[in-house]
Structure 1
Amino acid sequence: MARTSKSAGTPVGVKMMQKVSSTRTFARIAPHVIPAVDRAVHRLSKGRTMMSTRMLPGVILHARGAKTGQPRQTPLACMPEPEKGTWILIGSNFGRPGHPAWTANLLAHPEVSVHWEGQDIPVRARLLAGEERADAWRAVLGFWPPYATYQKRIEREIRLFRIERR
Protein backbone atom coordinates (compact mmCIF):
# COMPACT_ATOMS: atom_id res chain seq x y z
CA MET A 1 0.00 0.00 0.00
CA ALA A 2 1.35 3.44 -0.93
CA ARG A 3 2.16 5.86 1.87
CA THR A 4 -0.26 8.74 1.97
CA SER A 5 0.09 12.28 3.18
CA LYS A 6 -2.05 13.43 6.07
CA SER A 7 -3.80 15.94 3.81
CA ALA A 8 -6.53 14.40 1.70
CA GLY A 9 -5.05 10.90 1.54
CA THR A 10 -2.91 11.70 -1.51
CA PRO A 11 -0.03 9.24 -2.02
CA VAL A 12 3.23 10.84 -0.87
CA GLY A 13 4.94 10.10 -4.22
CA VAL A 14 2.18 11.97 -6.06
CA LYS A 15 2.51 15.01 -3.78
CA MET A 16 6.27 15.03 -4.34
CA MET A 17 5.85 14.72 -8.12
CA GLN A 18 3.32 17.58 -8.08
CA LYS A 19 5.91 19.79 -6.33
CA VAL A 20 8.69 18.77 -8.73
CA SER A 21 6.52 19.23 -11.82
CA SER A 22 5.68 22.79 -10.72
CA THR A 23 9.31 23.93 -10.91
CA ARG A 24 10.83 25.94 -13.75
CA THR A 25 13.64 23.37 -14.02
CA PHE A 26 11.09 20.64 -14.70
CA ALA A 27 9.43 22.86 -17.33
CA ARG A 28 12.78 23.34 -19.03
CA ILE A 29 13.84 19.66 -19.04
CA ALA A 30 10.63 17.58 -19.12
CA PRO A 31 9.42 18.50 -22.63
CA HIS A 32 12.64 17.08 -24.07
CA VAL A 33 12.77 13.93 -21.96
CA ILE A 34 9.28 12.72 -21.06
CA PRO A 35 7.78 12.45 -24.59
CA ALA A 36 10.86 10.61 -25.91
CA VAL A 37 10.84 8.14 -23.01
CA ASP A 38 7.05 7.70 -23.31
CA ARG A 39 7.34 6.91 -27.04
CA ALA A 40 10.10 4.36 -26.38
CA VAL A 41 8.28 2.65 -23.49
CA HIS A 42 5.03 2.63 -25.49
CA ARG A 43 6.80 1.00 -28.45
CA LEU A 44 8.71 -1.52 -26.30
CA SER A 45 5.58 -2.49 -24.35
CA LYS A 46 3.70 -3.00 -27.64
CA GLY A 47 1.31 -0.18 -26.78
CA ARG A 48 0.47 -1.33 -23.27
CA THR A 49 1.97 1.52 -21.24
CA MET A 50 3.96 4.74 -21.04
CA MET A 51 6.33 5.82 -18.28
CA SER A 52 4.34 8.97 -17.44
CA THR A 53 1.16 6.99 -16.77
CA ARG A 54 2.69 5.98 -13.43
CA MET A 55 1.62 9.48 -12.28
CA LEU A 56 -1.13 10.62 -14.67
CA PRO A 57 -3.35 8.86 -17.20
CA GLY A 58 -2.13 9.31 -20.73
CA VAL A 59 -2.94 8.78 -24.38
CA ILE A 60 -0.94 8.72 -27.57
CA LEU A 61 -2.53 11.29 -29.86
CA HIS A 62 -2.46 10.37 -33.56
CA ALA A 63 -3.03 13.56 -35.54
CA ARG A 64 -1.90 15.30 -38.72
CA GLY A 65 0.43 18.28 -38.63
CA ALA A 66 -1.36 21.61 -38.98
CA LYS A 67 0.96 22.85 -41.71
CA THR A 68 2.42 19.68 -43.23
CA GLY A 69 -0.47 17.25 -42.91
CA GLN A 70 2.12 14.64 -41.92
CA PRO A 71 1.17 12.06 -39.28
CA ARG A 72 2.18 12.98 -35.72
CA GLN A 73 2.19 10.81 -32.61
CA THR A 74 2.26 12.71 -29.34
CA PRO A 75 2.17 11.18 -25.86
CA LEU A 76 -0.02 13.35 -23.64
CA ALA A 77 -1.30 13.36 -20.11
CA CYS A 78 -5.08 13.50 -20.06
CA MET A 79 -7.96 13.74 -17.65
CA PRO A 80 -10.44 10.95 -18.36
CA GLU A 81 -14.12 11.76 -17.92
CA PRO A 82 -15.48 8.20 -17.62
CA GLU A 83 -19.02 9.34 -16.82
CA LYS A 84 -19.12 11.10 -20.22
CA GLY A 85 -16.89 8.68 -22.15
CA THR A 86 -14.59 11.61 -22.99
CA TRP A 87 -11.13 12.91 -22.14
CA ILE A 88 -9.72 16.39 -21.51
CA LEU A 89 -6.38 17.21 -23.14
CA ILE A 90 -4.51 20.08 -21.48
CA GLY A 91 -2.25 22.27 -23.63
CA SER A 92 -0.06 23.36 -20.73
CA ASN A 93 3.30 22.94 -22.47
CA PHE A 94 4.71 22.53 -18.95
CA GLY A 95 4.02 26.23 -18.28
CA ARG A 96 6.20 27.45 -21.14
CA PRO A 97 5.15 30.53 -23.17
CA GLY A 98 3.93 29.08 -26.48
CA HIS A 99 1.04 26.74 -27.14
CA PRO A 100 2.22 23.20 -27.77
CA ALA A 101 2.26 22.24 -31.48
CA TRP A 102 -0.25 19.44 -30.99
CA THR A 103 -2.93 22.01 -30.09
CA ALA A 104 -2.52 23.71 -33.49
CA ASN A 105 -2.78 20.28 -35.09
CA LEU A 106 -6.13 19.69 -33.36
CA LEU A 107 -7.43 23.10 -34.35
CA ALA A 108 -6.55 22.41 -38.01
CA HIS A 109 -7.54 18.72 -38.05
CA PRO A 110 -9.93 17.82 -35.20
CA GLU A 111 -10.70 14.31 -36.51
CA VAL A 112 -7.95 12.26 -34.83
CA SER A 113 -7.46 9.08 -32.87
CA VAL A 114 -6.00 8.25 -29.49
CA HIS A 115 -4.38 5.12 -28.17
CA TRP A 116 -5.98 4.49 -24.78
CA GLU A 117 -5.68 1.35 -22.64
CA GLY A 118 -4.48 -0.76 -25.56
CA GLN A 119 -7.05 0.45 -28.08
CA ASP A 120 -6.94 2.90 -30.96
CA ILE A 121 -10.07 5.03 -30.70
CA PRO A 122 -11.27 7.47 -33.38
CA VAL A 123 -12.17 10.76 -31.71
CA ARG A 124 -13.06 14.35 -32.49
CA ALA A 125 -11.35 17.16 -30.59
CA ARG A 126 -13.16 20.33 -29.58
CA LEU A 127 -11.52 23.42 -28.09
CA LEU A 128 -13.39 24.41 -24.94
CA ALA A 129 -14.49 28.00 -24.32
CA GLY A 130 -16.67 29.99 -21.96
CA GLU A 131 -18.43 28.30 -19.07
CA GLU A 132 -17.68 24.83 -20.44
CA ARG A 133 -13.96 25.63 -20.30
CA ALA A 134 -14.30 27.17 -16.82
CA ASP A 135 -15.99 23.99 -15.53
CA ALA A 136 -13.36 21.77 -17.14
CA TRP A 137 -10.53 23.96 -15.80
CA ARG A 138 -11.84 23.59 -12.23
CA ALA A 139 -11.95 19.81 -12.70
CA VAL A 140 -8.43 19.80 -14.19
CA LEU A 141 -7.05 21.74 -11.20
CA GLY A 142 -8.65 19.23 -8.83
CA PHE A 143 -7.15 16.42 -10.88
CA TRP A 144 -3.58 17.84 -11.10
CA PRO A 145 -3.02 21.07 -9.12
CA PRO A 146 0.33 21.99 -10.77
CA TYR A 147 -1.61 23.20 -13.83
CA ALA A 148 -2.44 26.31 -11.76
CA THR A 149 1.29 27.02 -11.39
CA TYR A 150 1.77 26.59 -15.14
CA GLN A 151 -1.05 29.06 -15.86
CA LYS A 152 0.36 31.67 -13.45
CA ARG A 153 3.71 31.55 -15.25
CA ILE A 154 2.38 32.44 -18.69
CA GLU A 155 0.23 35.10 -20.31
CA ARG A 156 -1.61 32.83 -22.74
CA GLU A 157 -4.67 30.87 -21.66
CA ILE A 158 -3.94 27.14 -21.53
CA ARG A 159 -5.99 25.43 -24.21
CA LEU A 160 -8.33 22.64 -23.11
CA PHE A 161 -9.78 20.17 -25.58
CA ARG A 162 -12.50 17.64 -24.98
CA ILE A 163 -12.11 14.58 -27.13
CA GLU A 164 -15.15 12.44 -27.85
CA ARG A 165 -15.50 9.11 -29.63
CA ARG A 166 -16.58 9.36 -33.25
Structure 2
Amino acid sequence: MNDIPLIYNTNGALSRSGNTDGSYKDNNLDDEIMGMLPEGLVQRISYNAGYIYNDNWKDYYKSHSVYLNKGWEYITDLKEEKEFEFTCAHETGHEILQAYGGTVFYWQHKGNSYYFPQNTKPVDKESLVEEYIYLDYMEENSGENIPTGEVDIMKYYDDNIKAKSKPLLLKKMF
Protein backbone atom coordinates (compact mmCIF):
# COMPACT_ATOMS: atom_id res chain seq x y z
CA MET A 1 0.00 0.00 0.00
CA ASN A 2 1.26 3.48 -0.85
CA ASP A 3 1.76 6.07 1.87
CA ILE A 4 -1.10 8.55 2.19
CA PRO A 5 -0.11 12.09 3.24
CA LEU A 6 -1.88 13.40 6.36
CA ILE A 7 -2.92 17.06 6.25
CA TYR A 8 -3.67 19.16 9.34
CA ASN A 9 -5.96 21.93 8.12
CA THR A 10 -7.28 24.77 10.26
CA ASN A 11 -8.88 28.19 9.82
CA GLY A 12 -9.36 28.08 6.06
CA ALA A 13 -11.08 26.25 3.24
CA LEU A 14 -12.14 22.64 3.77
CA SER A 15 -9.46 20.16 2.69
CA ARG A 16 -11.09 17.13 1.06
CA SER A 17 -9.59 13.70 1.63
CA GLY A 18 -9.07 11.28 -1.24
CA ASN A 19 -7.18 8.16 -2.26
CA THR A 20 -6.93 7.81 -6.02
CA ASP A 21 -3.44 6.34 -6.34
CA GLY A 22 -3.87 2.70 -5.46
CA SER A 23 -1.00 0.24 -5.32
CA TYR A 24 -2.65 -2.38 -7.51
CA LYS A 25 -2.53 -1.71 -11.24
CA ASP A 26 -5.15 -3.25 -13.52
CA ASN A 27 -4.13 -1.57 -16.80
CA ASN A 28 -6.64 1.24 -16.32
CA LEU A 29 -5.31 4.43 -17.92
CA ASP A 30 -6.57 6.49 -14.98
CA ASP A 31 -4.14 4.66 -12.67
CA GLU A 32 -1.28 5.99 -14.77
CA ILE A 33 -2.67 9.54 -14.92
CA MET A 34 -3.32 9.74 -11.17
CA GLY A 35 0.13 8.31 -10.49
CA MET A 36 1.68 11.32 -12.27
CA LEU A 37 0.05 13.90 -9.96
CA PRO A 38 2.17 15.39 -7.17
CA GLU A 39 1.87 13.58 -3.85
CA GLY A 40 -0.82 15.07 -1.63
CA LEU A 41 -2.71 16.82 -4.44
CA VAL A 42 -5.54 14.28 -4.56
CA GLN A 43 -4.28 11.44 -2.40
CA ARG A 44 -4.45 12.65 1.21
CA ILE A 45 -6.32 12.33 4.46
CA SER A 46 -7.27 15.69 5.93
CA TYR A 47 -7.92 16.64 9.54
CA ASN A 48 -10.09 19.79 9.45
CA ALA A 49 -10.43 21.66 12.76
CA GLY A 50 -11.08 25.26 13.75
CA TYR A 51 -12.92 27.69 11.49
CA ILE A 52 -13.49 25.86 8.21
CA TYR A 53 -15.05 27.30 5.05
CA ASN A 54 -17.26 25.06 2.86
CA ASP A 55 -17.51 26.48 -0.65
CA ASN A 56 -20.55 24.28 -1.36
CA TRP A 57 -22.52 25.85 1.50
CA LYS A 58 -25.51 26.53 -0.77
CA ASP A 59 -26.09 22.74 -0.98
CA TYR A 60 -26.93 22.60 2.74
CA TYR A 61 -30.43 22.94 4.12
CA LYS A 62 -31.33 26.61 4.55
CA SER A 63 -31.80 26.03 8.27
CA HIS A 64 -28.32 24.44 8.67
CA SER A 65 -25.71 26.54 10.50
CA VAL A 66 -23.23 26.21 7.61
CA TYR A 67 -25.80 27.72 5.24
CA LEU A 68 -26.73 30.45 7.72
CA ASN A 69 -23.03 31.34 8.20
CA LYS A 70 -22.39 31.39 4.42
CA GLY A 71 -20.03 28.44 4.48
CA TRP A 72 -18.23 28.93 7.77
CA GLU A 73 -18.41 26.51 10.68
CA TYR A 74 -16.34 25.87 13.75
CA ILE A 75 -15.22 22.24 14.00
CA THR A 76 -13.97 21.09 17.40
CA ASP A 77 -11.22 18.50 17.76
CA LEU A 78 -13.71 16.16 19.42
CA LYS A 79 -16.03 16.31 16.39
CA GLU A 80 -13.17 16.03 13.90
CA GLU A 81 -11.62 13.02 15.64
CA LYS A 82 -14.70 10.91 14.82
CA GLU A 83 -14.76 12.23 11.25
CA PHE A 84 -11.04 11.55 10.89
CA GLU A 85 -11.39 7.94 12.09
CA PHE A 86 -14.17 7.35 9.56
CA THR A 87 -12.20 9.04 6.78
CA CYS A 88 -9.01 7.06 7.50
CA ALA A 89 -10.95 3.79 7.35
CA HIS A 90 -12.74 4.83 4.14
CA GLU A 91 -9.65 6.06 2.29
CA THR A 92 -7.57 3.05 3.34
CA GLY A 93 -10.43 0.82 2.22
CA HIS A 94 -9.94 2.04 -1.34
CA GLU A 95 -6.74 -0.03 -1.51
CA ILE A 96 -8.69 -3.16 -0.57
CA LEU A 97 -11.46 -2.43 -3.07
CA GLN A 98 -8.95 -1.87 -5.86
CA ALA A 99 -7.11 -5.12 -5.09
CA TYR A 100 -10.44 -6.99 -4.99
CA GLY A 101 -12.42 -5.38 -7.81
CA GLY A 102 -10.16 -3.07 -9.81
CA THR A 103 -10.01 0.66 -10.42
CA VAL A 104 -13.65 1.18 -11.49
CA PHE A 105 -14.95 -0.70 -8.44
CA TYR A 106 -12.99 1.44 -5.98
CA TRP A 107 -13.46 4.76 -7.77
CA GLN A 108 -17.22 4.23 -7.89
CA HIS A 109 -17.50 3.19 -4.23
CA LYS A 110 -18.87 -0.26 -5.08
CA GLY A 111 -21.18 1.36 -7.64
CA ASN A 112 -22.83 3.94 -5.37
CA SER A 113 -21.13 6.97 -6.93
CA TYR A 114 -20.29 8.03 -10.45
CA TYR A 115 -16.84 7.47 -11.89
CA PHE A 116 -16.50 11.15 -12.69
CA PRO A 117 -17.41 13.34 -10.98
CA GLN A 118 -17.62 11.17 -7.87
CA ASN A 119 -21.05 12.41 -6.84
CA THR A 120 -23.42 10.08 -5.01
CA LYS A 121 -25.90 8.30 -7.27
CA PRO A 122 -29.56 8.94 -6.52
CA VAL A 123 -31.85 6.19 -5.28
CA ASP A 124 -34.55 7.36 -7.68
CA LYS A 125 -34.38 8.30 -11.36
CA GLU A 126 -31.30 10.18 -12.50
CA SER A 127 -31.56 13.75 -13.76
CA LEU A 128 -30.60 14.49 -17.38
CA VAL A 129 -27.22 15.80 -16.22
CA GLU A 130 -26.52 12.64 -14.24
CA GLU A 131 -27.69 10.35 -17.03
CA TYR A 132 -25.91 12.05 -19.94
CA ILE A 133 -22.98 13.98 -18.48
CA TYR A 134 -21.68 11.90 -15.57
CA LEU A 135 -19.33 9.04 -16.39
CA ASP A 136 -20.67 5.75 -15.02
CA TYR A 137 -19.13 2.33 -15.68
CA MET A 138 -21.45 0.62 -13.19
CA GLU A 139 -24.84 1.69 -14.53
CA GLU A 140 -26.56 -1.38 -13.06
CA ASN A 141 -25.98 0.04 -9.57
CA SER A 142 -27.99 2.89 -8.09
CA GLY A 143 -27.69 4.90 -4.92
CA GLU A 144 -28.72 3.62 -1.51
CA ASN A 145 -30.10 5.24 1.61
CA ILE A 146 -28.22 4.76 4.87
CA PRO A 147 -29.22 1.34 6.20
CA THR A 148 -30.78 0.93 9.63
CA GLY A 149 -28.30 -1.78 10.61
CA GLU A 150 -24.67 -2.28 9.69
CA VAL A 151 -23.14 0.48 7.57
CA ASP A 152 -20.68 -0.08 4.72
CA ILE A 153 -18.11 2.70 5.12
CA MET A 154 -16.99 2.36 1.50
CA LYS A 155 -20.33 3.36 0.00
CA TYR A 156 -21.64 6.84 -0.65
CA TYR A 157 -25.26 7.03 0.50
CA ASP A 158 -27.99 9.00 -1.23
CA ASP A 159 -28.85 11.42 1.53
CA ASN A 160 -27.64 14.95 1.93
CA ILE A 161 -24.48 13.72 3.65
CA LYS A 162 -23.33 17.24 4.40
CA ALA A 163 -26.45 18.20 6.26
CA LYS A 164 -27.99 15.18 7.93
CA SER A 165 -26.59 11.76 7.05
CA LYS A 166 -22.94 12.10 8.04
CA PRO A 167 -23.77 12.76 11.70
CA LEU A 168 -26.23 9.84 11.59
CA LEU A 169 -23.62 7.64 9.94
CA LEU A 170 -20.96 8.60 12.49
CA LYS A 171 -23.42 8.05 15.34
CA LYS A 172 -24.08 4.52 14.08
CA MET A 173 -20.37 3.77 13.85
CA PHE A 174 -19.25 5.06 17.27
Say whether the fold is shared (TM-score over 0.5): no
Structure showing the higher strand proportion among its residues? 1
> When the two structures are superposed, what TM-score results if normalisation uses the length of structure 2?
0.23
- Structure with greater Cα Rg: 2
The alignment's TM-score, normalised by the length of structure 1, stands at 0.23
